[in-house]
Structure 1
């Protein structure tokens, strides 16, 4: 995962466009030049989807070219995970303000996904998101879910979800795809078959 610098920690479109600009990504790749990585992920959902599908693809193409290894991003990983699981209708449980979350909905819609419900929580900084308790995350997923949704997406990498994905899926009664889980999954998929891993939900139980 690329280690990038951060300007302003803010879930605002202008700050996110600055966060995901080419210079920051290039610097992150340079910092990992000795890591001997076999794949690289731009592990930021909002810092990629605000650029739109074409811009997000340009980001990962630039990272791949600079790193010399396959690359992707969290936003693209969400799209790929939905296609992998054959899921079309989703609900979104977003920590972001509504205007930022709307960019994620647009990004998903461009890939063919249908967003049937979206919950936003007006949390401005990633630092604040990182303070959410497991119970608060579970409630966020429950509140955003919709009977017509085949899965619930949780798009913030600052949210601590890897340890509670099975709990989230039990609460929703359906697959829950979180930013950190799809990032790990895609990073592994870029270099070969993804192993089945317990505790990481439907996506890793159906690995093939």
Structure 2
């Protein structure tokens, strides 16, 4: 049995995690601990507070008691708003606090894009334009070319959590670009676990969604690999050979 831990802010799409656990169909247990979201706002100052060391550390002790082998801060906007270096610092502090290998959803996207060998991506974001721009800048700092950036202008995670397949599919289609080798949907408040295969069939290319890549990143940290076709190309592709520390 492999136990994986996730610090998830508030309550929006956390039910994606038990769904993904079922889809993995293996001896994987996904443990979700909720952190205090503070103000529910896709606004830079609120996101910086949401991802502050104190808020993350508050959930670590509960997570340690679950026997988790790795921990991922299951929040994209609450990590990339710190910038490339700041997000690294956030993860290092989380690893020290938890005493476990650690990462965040922002880095999960970076590693998943590399796994797919996708040098050019399109971003279809629920966020306001300025916040979406921070994610694009984060990807560019990782060496990924963002060929298209779509912003939906939604301020709260609570609203994002109400979206179903029709809205998610419309977002992905609106954000796609002919030159993109993959489409990224970066909000962990967005329900996508049940939709990845439909999204990829509609777009004809890999689609990376926040909760999907977050779980994949935790598996990567625990050196586990699970073939799960219903979770899309990321969970079926053979790993690329990468240089150490990539």
Matched, 1:166 2:229: no
The match for 1:74 is 105
TM-score normalized with structure 2 length: 0.83
The match for 1:57 is 88
**SS, match of residue 199 in structure 1:** helix
The match for 1:130 is 161
**SS, match of residue 109 in structure 1:** helix
CA offsets per residue over residues 53-78 of structure 1, 9 Å max, x none? 11111111111111111010000000
Residue 98 of structure 1: how far off its partner (Å):
0.2
Matched, 1:46 2:77: yes
Structure in which a larger fraction of residues adopt strand: 2
Residue 30 of structure 1: how far off its partner (Å):
2.2
The match for 1:98 is 129
2:181 to 150, 154, 158: 150
Residue 4 of structure 1: how far off its partner (Å):
1.3
Residue 193 of structure 1: how far off its partner (Å):
2.9
Residue 202 of structure 1: how far off its partner (Å):
0.3
Matched, 1:6 2:28: no
Residue 192 of structure 1: how far off its partner (Å):
1.3
CA offsets per residue over residues 135-174 of structure 1, 9 Å max, x none? 1100110011000000000000000001000000011110
Matched, 1:118 2:153: no
Matched, 1:21 2:52: yes
User: Gaps (5+ residues) in structure 2?
Assistant: 1-5, 8-33, 240-246
CA distance in 1, matches of 2:68, 2:62: 12
Q: Which structure exhibits the higher relative contact order, with contacts defined as CA atoms closer than 8 Å and separated by 6 or more residues?
A: 2
Equivalenced residue count is 208
Runs of 4+ in 1 over 3 A off after TM superposition: none
The match for 1:85 is 116
1:35 to 66, 90, 107: 66
CA distance in 2, matches of 1:123, 1:26: 28
Distance 1:158 1:207, change over 3 A: farther
Residue 207 of structure 1: how far off its partner (Å):
4.8
8 Å CA contact 1:196, 1:207 repeated in 2: no
CA distance in 1, matches of 2:190, 2:182: 18
**SS, match of residue 230 in structure 2:** coil
**SS, match of residue 119 in structure 1:** strand
